[in-house]
Structure 1
Amino acid sequence: MNAQDLKNSILQLAIQGKLVEQRKEEGTAKELLEQIKAAKEQFIKEKKIKKQKALSEITEDEVPFDIPESWVWVRFGEIVNVVSARRVHQSDWRKEGIPFYRAREIGKLAEFGNVDNELFIDEELFNKFAESGVPKAGDLMVTAVGTLGKTYIVKDDDIFYYKDASVICLENFYDVSSEYIKLIMESKLMEKQIKSNSGGTTVSTLTMVRMNMYCLPLPPLEEQKRIVAKIEELMPYVDKYDVAYSEVEELNKKFPEDMQKSTLQYAVQGKLVEQREEEGTAEELYQQIQEEKKVLVKEGKVKKPKKLMEITEDEIPYDIPENWKWVRLGDIFEINPRNTVNDDTTVSFIPMTLIEDGYRSEFSFETKSWGEVKKGYTHFRDGDIVMAKITPCFQNLKSAIMLNLENGVGAGTTELHVLRAYNDICLEFFLWFIKSPIFVSTCVTKMTGTAGQQRVGTDTITNYVIPLPPLEEQKRIVAKIEEMLPRCKQLVK
């Protein structure tokens, strides 16, 4: 339950007579209603308010819940005088004078208690309107367009006029608790009545006729005041609950993401699965990769790479297991290779718009002849790891393993880095590594280019220092990640 739900529950208890006790000495709402009727007749006789058409009796179908015996169901038109303003033409608007409020200003007053007003009318015009009535302290101003039913209680020092048809005034001629009426206006009871006028959706305007006919439960006057006092006592606790609830919600939202990041961080530090002596060492795997690289260079299948610098202690960000080895990405992958394919071969063409994150087998692509795409585009083939190198795609971890390309070959957007393994390694392990927080955050600090279009350079990727586990451990790490991450995602629901 969020804070608004809690507030709604408290309001519902209040208007059902369940928030405070009933007291016999406070009389009944029926007695109060008779006094209001008598006062209304006197005001009509004195021509302070106009006589209205008789309102229909409230039917059983209109009563949504039970109320205490000392309460009574009434229509708004029975306890307040529902009125609107005289027409103020746009030509009468001024930049100073008496404030002139539309629904938007009343809505802000209702929510914040103050408003930076931009429209005014002449004091002379206001005084003219005052002859037929202007808002007075205790009256309630209700928004009649836009968000309907927002209610502001006029204060003692308020002097303003308001827009007809945009705002309705509930003249509180008998001093029924204005605060209690405002609670009714904020309740689900009123929300449902307003929505019922248009078959379930909020109507575009709130008319005087509708306002007169809406129903509300009326307690004795002193009980109204006690209900308001209890609400005012409880609302600070609701506000504290709102803060606490928001903090918990934020933690709940962040927890799955933080858990995923922690899982990946544990994985690349060798803390996610145990090490097994029978699986050999990363040094042995590294030597196998270097031997395979020499064979590929000798056969002309790859270009001889530049010798990379030895890794220094300053470049090592954290400890890894003894059977692991720190290497540079360029030591175990050919970075941004070029393909050698016949021009008439049909291949996959993948622009950035079709690049998806993390796929391994099924994705969308266009087909073109190699002759059309071999120049001016990035080359890749089945088994290559691709990663976006530009913002914001890079930070969004847009990376994948290419599989099921047309004839095993493809080309596409130039805004990709391509990592092609020299020999048999677990591609998924390295895919997860380039999604890890440490890889992303480190690369972000080394981006170049303008603020609107930054990219990770080839040198950064080639020389990036990465931990290399033994091959079988790579596979077990991937299996554990793929077991745990779906659970992280389930926590979001």
Structure 2
Amino acid sequence: MNAERLLTLYERVAEAPDAVPRLRRFVLDLAVRGKLVAQDASDEPASELLKRIAAEKARLVKAGEMKVRKLQARERSEPLDFTLPTGWGLTELGTVSMKITDGAHKTPTYVEKGVPFVSVKDFSGGKLDLSNTRFIPESEHQVLYQRCDARRGDILLGRIGTLGKAVLVDTDVEFSLFVSVGLIRFDHQNLLPEFFRLLLNSPFVEDEFDRIKIGGGTHTNKLNLGDLHTVALPLPPLAEQRRIVAKVEELMALLDRLETACTAREATRDRLTAASLARLTAPDADAADFPVNARFALATLPALTTRPDQIKPLRQTILNLAVRGKLVEQDPADEPASELLKRIAAAKADAKGRKGARAKGVPAEAETMNADFPTGWASVRLDNVAVSMRYGTSIKCDYDKRLVPVLRIPNVSSGQVVLDDMKHGPLSKADREALSLEADDLLLIRSNGSLDIVGRAAVVPPEAAGMAFAGYLVRLQTLRDAINSRYIWLALNSGAVREQIERPIRSAVGLKNVNLTEVGNLSFWLPPLAEQLRIVAKVDALMALCDRLEAALTTADTTRARLLEALLQEALAPPARTMAAAE
């Protein structure tokens, strides 16, 4: 075993996805292959244990305490992928077990107080947990107990639904079992139940369960009691079973401490990252402190960002900084946003007689945007910057390409217009003209079952010009020489605007909706047009950096995972194998 190499390179693989759970499986795999502890030539071989177990079973049958069960020896279709150590034997579960049964096949009567009724859900953290069981009457328990008399030292095995999870009965409290739980009893004089709990949870026996499990009918995953008898088991001497159990417990405790330390480290990183980003975007932050906070964040974030999922809050911070005027410098020479609003108002007056739904009512200003805004900026509502807003068509669409292409929620839910799955509809000439999209229009989702999707928008690209749009979308058109649609898209994805969208509908059941008036009421800060362009360019550049960082972290995760896999394979393989694949 090349465990030394695994320890040498551990720091490189410790943060691989699921490293600790995989190491736990690795420990069990080593244990049942005889590679975890040294063999002792003076140990009584497993063959002698099997002889005594057979004699004890014959005695119990003769005394009428055990039923005769004829078991046919099974030839393995494939040889073992490892050599059994000296003193070990290969047997089957039916050969070494004294009893294999299961629980109640009918739903019992549940009562408030009575005898615990155990199902697979009571297997918690690899142990039997009676703290949250349901209860059945004593009378029903006594009937079940005649067949399934669980006692200390027995193994309980999930055999329906949650397959193969084995726990040891370590209590003298009487309980009954549901049909989803199998009970396995061993000869405690010749076998160690604690070892068999480890064995039945090992990858080797998992493969055996995969061989015998059945599907179909009521249960899609099931282990038949009769088939359990045929599960192959590598059997060490009794003394070695004890050494293996002690070593596994020692290593599992070490891995528990490692997992706790890793979890604490990641939680600390997440808190530090959140605190660093919050200092940049806090609404009441002193502008004079921003340069110091920004330098601190830039200095600490590279060390704190170690996982791909940590890039999302970084992206959100970039957006939040962008729409608060903290991403690029202001230029006093820029035409102020107030002048842009005048031109938009004039354009709206010219378009007053045109068809199309308009937001009505008195829009309310969002509290989140009440702070002082940068020089040249203006506090606006979406209705202030829109020349036109309207719903799309509710006509039924299909894949007939002879009709008018219609963009739907799936085409815009990713934040950009995707033309892969297009449907078409029989629109009239008037509707086709009214709903015809232009490049740089904004499409916003107004209704969806997912809270995160409602209010998401996409900028219409040139290739989608002339297409129509569906009724669950809102089209926003504005003045091209006053507003950059990409900036409005950034504002709609900022934390302040997302809060305005999500807060009123967060508790809604089923579909979550925003209407045209609510969309028009969304408030944010509008910079001068020249600064809008600078902000969009800066955000694009920073998002490209985020893309590269996310890709690098994903690659690092993949590399660590592959290295861990190669190290584990090497540790289980014969010494002649090399690590060329992992280098």
Partner of 1:218: 235
Rounded Cα–Cα distance in structure 2 between residues aligned with 1:327 and 1:95: 62
Match of 1:21, SS state, is coil
Match of 1:69 among 67, 82, 86: 86
Q: Distance in 1 between matches of 2:99 and 2:74?
A: 18
Aligned to 2:387: 334
The alpha-carbon distance between structure 1 residues 245 and 55, as it changes in their structure 2 partners (threshold 3 A), is: farther
Residue 523 (structure 2) aligns with: 464
Structure 2 Cα separation of the partners of residues 51 and 281 of structure 1? 95
Relative to structure 1, is the Cα distance of residues 200 and 443 closer, same or farther in structure 2, using a 3 angstrom cutoff?
closer
Instruction: Verify the 8 A CA contact 1:333 1:420 in the aligned structure 2.
Output: yes
CA contact (8 A) 1:98 1:160 kept: no
Do structure 1's residue 385 and structure 2's residue 438 form an aligned pair?
A: no
What one-letter code is carried by the residue in structure 2 that aligns with 1:262?
Answer: T
SS in 2 for 1:234: helix
TM-score where L is the length of structure 1: 0.73
Deviation at 1:431, TM superposition (A): 1.7
Pair 26,352 (structure 1): closer, same or farther in 2 beyond 3 Å: closer
**1:43/1:295 CA distance change after superposition, 3 Å:** closer
Q: What is the percent sequence identity of the aligned residues? A: 19
Does the 8 Å CA contact 1:347/1:368 hold for their aligned counterparts? yes
CA distance in 2, matches of 1:26, 1:264: 68
Contact in 2 for aligned 1:350/1:366 (Cα 8 Å): no
> In 1, are the aligned partners of 2:340 and 2:528 still within 8 Å (CA)?
no
Structure-2 change in CA distance of 1:39 and 1:439 (3 Å): same
Which residue number in structure 2 is paired with residue 342 of structure 1? none
Aligned CA distance change for structure 1 residues 348 and 389 (closer, same or farther; 3 Å): same
1:79 deviation in Å? 2.4
Q: Compared with structure 1, are the counterparts of its residues 326 and 221 closer, same or farther at alpha carbon in structure 2 (3 Å cutoff)?
A: same
Partner Cα distance (1:174, 1:141) in 2: 19
Kindly provide the amino acid, as one letter, of the partner of residue 219 in structure 1: P
Residues in 2 aligned to 1:259 and 1:144: alpha-carbon distance in whole angstroms: 45
User: In 2, Cα distance between the equivalents of 1:42 and 1:136?
Assistant: 21
Change in CA separation of 1:420 and 1:292 when aligned onto 2, cut-off 3 Å? closer
Aligned residues: 471
Alignment gaps of 5+ in structure 1: 340-345
**RMSD, aligned α-carbons:** 5.1
Distance 1:424-1:48 versus aligned 2 partners, 3 A rule? same
CA contact (8 A) 2:345 2:384 kept: no
Residue 262 of structure 1, CA deviation: 1.5
One-letter amino acid matched to 1:429: Y
Instruction: Give the alignment of 1:34-183 within 5 angstroms.
Output: 34-53=51-70, 56=73, 61-84=78-101, 99=115, 104=120, 111-114=127-130, 116-120=133-137, 122=139, 126=143, 129=146, 134-155=149-170, 157-160=172-175, 167-172=182-187, 174-183=189-198
In the alignment, structure 1 residue 317 sits paired with structure 2 residue 371: yes
Q: Deviations over 1:311-348 (max 9, x none)?
A: 9999553664x5x4235245544353799xxxxxx988
Q: Does 1:5 align with 2:22?
A: yes
Which amino acid in the other structure matches residue 84 of structure 1? T
Secondary structure at 2:387's aligned position in 1?
A: strand
Distance 1:209 1:442 in 2: 60
CA offset at residue 102 of structure 1?
7.3
Change (3 A) 1:14 1:403: closer
SS in 2 for 1:423: coil
Counterpart contact for 1:94–1:120, Cα < 8 Å: yes
Determine the structure 2 residue equivalent to 1:440.
Answer: 498
Partner in structure 2 of residue 281 of structure 1: 334
Unaligned runs of 5+ in 2: 1-16, 271-306, 393-402, 555-583
Map Cα deviations across residues 5-59 of structure 1 (whole Å, 9 max, x no partner).
2221111121122323334554433443444344444444444334544653876
Whichever residue aligns with residue 113 of structure 1, its letter is D
> Which residue of 1 is the match for residue 310 of structure 2?
255
Secondary structure at the residue paired with 2:458? strand
Measured after TM superposition, the shift of residue 196 of structure 1 is 1.7
Q: Give the 3 Å change call, closer, same or farther, for CA 61–12 of structure 1 in structure 2.
A: same
* Bigger Rg, which one: 1
Counterpart CA distance in 1 for 2:534 and 2:324 is 14
8 Å Cα contact 2:158-2:164 kept in structure 1: yes
- Where 2:481 maps in the other structure, the secondary structure is coil
Distance 1:205 1:168, change over 3 A: farther
Equivalent position to 2:201, from 169, 186, 191: 186
The question of whether the paired residues in 2 share the 8 Å contact of 1:384 and 1:418 is answered with yes
Whether the aligned pair in 1 keeps the contact of 2:442 and 2:460 (CA below 8 Å) is: yes
Deviation at residue 234 of structure 1 after TM alignment = 3.2
Q: 1:207 to 1:171 in 2, by over 3 A?
A: farther
TM-score, normalised on structure 2? 0.63
* Counterpart secondary structure, 1:421: coil
